[in-house]
Amino acid sequence: QALRERGCRSEEQFREVLREIEAEVQRRKQLIHQSVERRAIISKCYKPKHPEVYTLQDSFLAPEFLEIVRFCTSPGADLQGLLRYLESFSDKRIYRLPVFTEEFCQAFVDELENFEQSDMPKGRPNTMNNYGVLLNELGMDERFLTPLRERFLRPITALLYPELGGACLDSHRAFVVKYSLHEDLDLSSHYDNAEVTLNVSLGKEFTEGNLYFGDFSQDPSPVPQYTEVEHVRARGLLHRGGQIHGALPIASGERWNLIVWMRASAVRNQLCPMCNRKPELVAAEGFGDGFTGALAQEEPQTVNLCAL
């Protein structure tokens, strides 16, 4: 029925579409293995230009961001108090906040450009972004991204998005995307495979290219109302992963964005956010897509009645 609604009529059309689907399924099954191979080569052969950016330091973070985190971890912190520190956009629960310093953004982009110019193998973020870097392949998960998520972002998302597992975001997928006039100009509307997304504009110099936000994926309206949000260098946007969004074309220059898809296994183990079904899991390297399987050897806890 779904294929008929999209124009399939003949048996040959159905077979052709099914062949394409099967090819895409097989391609995706190979992605993790290919990524592991690339990471091993990069770890062995790549010489970073700015090795310091691979380990998160408080000095990389904007003082205002550190102040927000201090508030969120203080006794009695609540949502209304947190909102005084953030820029809010419409009623879609989209928030902008300072994240990094300008100096860190400049050094990080310089490092990314150095990697791009190297002869190292490169995986791209997804089929929609043809230019960019997968940060786990650069070895940034353990020393940079996991501390960023656990120490700094989770106290904020716990207050902003409690129903999406904001207090228990336990994995992520992080990458950098690049937009320029002769490469990717924009990004069509989509939603993320994440409970919560952080999108930070790293620079360089650019004009236009605003983000736009529509409906939440599970609650579409007949006539979507879009909200435009301007990118500001070194500042990040926090939004629900299921919020329909896209990027308008840049008019000049070049823009790099850090994207962190944050996942809560407690939420997605119950319902896959992409297909809205109970997930059927297969083993994967690293974080995979953020699901966790129950351990087969786990036994129910018993209670010592005599002790009671």
pLDDT average, residue stretch 77-87: 97
Q: Give yes or no for residue 89 having a pLDDT over 70.
A: yes
How many separate helices (H) and strands (E) can be counted in the chain? 8, 12
pTM of the model: 0.85
The C-alpha atoms of residue 277 and residue 31 are separated, in whole angstroms, by: 23
Q: How confident is the model at residue 255 (pLDDT cuts 50, 70, 90)?
A: confident
Domain boundaries, given as residue ranges, for the chain? 1-45, 51-269
The residue-averaged pLDDT of 155-162 equals: 98
Q: Are 17 and 25 in contact (CB under 8 A)?
A: no
User: What strands lie across the sheet with 243-247, from one edge to the other?
Assistant: 187-190, 243-247, 211-216, 227-229
Tens digit of pLDDT for each residue in 138-149?
Answer: 999 999 999 999
User: In whole angstroms, what is the distance from residue 61 CA to residue 144 CA?
Assistant: 12
Strands (E), the chain: 87-89, 94-98, 132-134, 171-180, 187-190, 196-203, 206-208, 211-216, 227-229, 235-240, 243-247, 250-263
Q: Report, at the CATH architecture level, how domain 51-269 is classified.
A: Sandwich (2.60)
The reported pLDDT for the residue numbered 296 is 38
Measure CA 25 to chain center: 22
Q: Exposed/middle/buried for 9, CB within 10 Å: 0-12, 13-18, 19+?
A: exposed
CA atoms of 4 and 7, how far apart (whole Å): 5
